Structure 1
């Protein structure tokens, strides 16, 4: 297997710098995801690792070997594209064998390698079909088989699930994850879909304007986002503008902020100073209690902040209740609770419970 080292890499398109002095390490056998919106630089980095783009500065290594200017066909990579990139007039067997022939593998060994690759992706028995006779999910499995047949050091995947419908996307996603764990191949996966990233990755690099905004495990990025951008991009989040008083901008782990006229206590995630900041809370971490909490002492919650509000929307989604709640200062927040619990209706007065340990405060 292979580790990938990116050292002070810069990539430009004309006068536009797309990646600026980026450094990171992708570990041997790791499923590593480059995540972010369109135009953030994630696909550019993938194509640079593949050798399709030559950087203007920096170094790219596979293990200890410098491959910065090594051509694509000599990097020993497998590539899976968004649009499958299969030859429409050639059979599945011929498509999968293409890379093996290009590498001048002994002719007698090719059929066994093709059969093995098709078996790995669950496509045994489809070898004589043309791509046009296959479903989108089957075509993507063939594209994956073609990449795996050459037994590459590194597997690169450029948004391979984006052209599939929801059910197929989930099925192929599970197949990719199972296969990668079985083979232990170093994999770099590009997506803009945060659910794919959370489900598949050992680590995620969240991109923003050619730089990494946060790098970590799915749990780290979801539970402890390092910025309001990360919180908002990874999963649903309430990103609330708050104010920090002069005497609250300390180095303590917890900090009290003002949300309108209400006080909110949370965990410090960045350096803070008096003035504007953000408080971040996931919908599933909030609880709604009946009544506005002003007169009922049972609403007092240890280790939590309680803010009155009014339910303005309730959606029943089968497995959960989804709420929109307007707080006393007019801020609208989202809350999600299991469907097994009691529900609230639009117009109900409620108390929104913000657990201190799950409310993150960060610089604006």
Structure 2
């Protein structure tokens, strides 16, 4: 297993700085995800780790080995791409064997290692087929076998699931997770899909304009976002503009009371606050609806609203509600919870502990 150390990394394209002075350590055997929207720098960082892009400054090390100036083929990495990158004229077993031959692995070892790799990904019965005779999911399994057969120190994946349909994505995602944990290979995974990141990762680096907005475990990033950007990108979130008074700024303790329009909203202080504008963040699954004027306890803030839309999704139901100040929020509740139709007057219950208040 190999750790990855990135120190003061800067990557530029002409006058455009894509990544600036990045420091990051990826631990031995870790499944580490680079998450963010298109153009945020995550793929650029992955390609720099692979050796495809030379940094303007900084250093990349695999363990104690500085690989910054070492070409890609000498870094002992396995690579999976979005478009499979298989040779169409070669059979499955020849595609998987290609990396071994390029590394001059003794010829007598090649058939056994290829068979083992194909067995691991459930493709042992397809060794003599060509890529054109395979489904998208099967081609990606072959690509995974080809990446693993060389026994890499580091496995790099550039949005390998984005070309697959939903069912196949789930199947391949589970295969990747199982194999990574079984083999213990340090893995860097690039995606813009927050569900993939949450499901697969030991840690996630959420990127924003070439910098890391937040770094942490899936639980940390989901439950304790450091900004409205992080909260909105990881999962669904209701982001509400609120105002902070001087009294609220100087209040002691983690709880804080802010104003949502003309209504007091209580929550947890997530960042340092100044008087003026701020955000309150509440996830749809944390909110509950009650009949207008119903009873409640001190653990929630009740805010009046009107249902705009209700959707029944089988296991859950979702409501869109317009609050008294005009803000529109989403709620997500179990299917067994009371349902409300469009036009119903309701009370939205904001749990104090799950309403996060942070600087704008």
* Aligned counterpart, 1:245: 245
Q: Deviation per CA, 1:61-119, whole angstroms, max 9, x where unpaired?
A: 10111111111011000000110000001000000000000000000100000000001
Distance 1:112 1:159 in 2: 29
| SS of alignment partner, residue 247 of structure 1 | helix
SS in 1 for 2:125: coil
Task: Extract unaligned runs of 5+ from structure 1.
Answer: none
TM-score by length of 1: 0.98
2:93 corresponds to which residue? Answer: 93
Query: Is 1:340 aligned to residue 345 of structure 2?
Result: no
Aligned partner of residue 70 in structure 2, secondary structure: coil
Measure the CA separation in 1 of the matches of 2:248 and 2:270: 14
Kindly report structure 1 stretches of 4+ aligned residues shifted beyond 4 Å.
Answer: none
- Specify the alignment match of 2:2 in structure 1: 2
Q: Deviations over 1:136-192 (max 9, x none)?
A: 000000000000000000000000000000110111011111111111110000000
Q: Tell me which residue corresponds to 1:285.
A: 286
Q: CA deviation at 1:254?
A: 1.1
- Aligned match of 2:300: 304
* Structure 2 gap segments, 5+ residues each: none
1:327 and 2:327 matched? no
Asked whether 1:313 is paired with 2:314, we answer: no
Q: Provide the TM-score with structure 2 as the length reference.
A: 0.99
In structure 1, what is the equivalent of residue 255 of structure 2? 254
Matched, 1:116 2:112: no
- 1:348: Cα distance to partner? 1.0
Q: Deviations over 1:233-265 (max 9, x none)?
A: 000000000000111113531111100011111
In the alignment, the residues of structure 2 paired with residue 112 and residue 212 of structure 1 have an alpha-carbon distance, to the nearest angstrom, of: 42
User: Pairwise CA RMSD of aligned residues?
Assistant: 0.7
Provide the residue aligned with 2:26 in structure 1: 26
Q: Size of the alignment, in residue pairs?
A: 359
What secondary structure is seen at the aligned counterpart in 2 of 1:345?
Answer: coil
In structure 1, the residue matched to 2:193 is 193
Question: Residue 359 in 1 paired to residue 349 in 2?
Answer: no
Deviations 1:211-230 (A, max 9, x none): 00000000000011000000
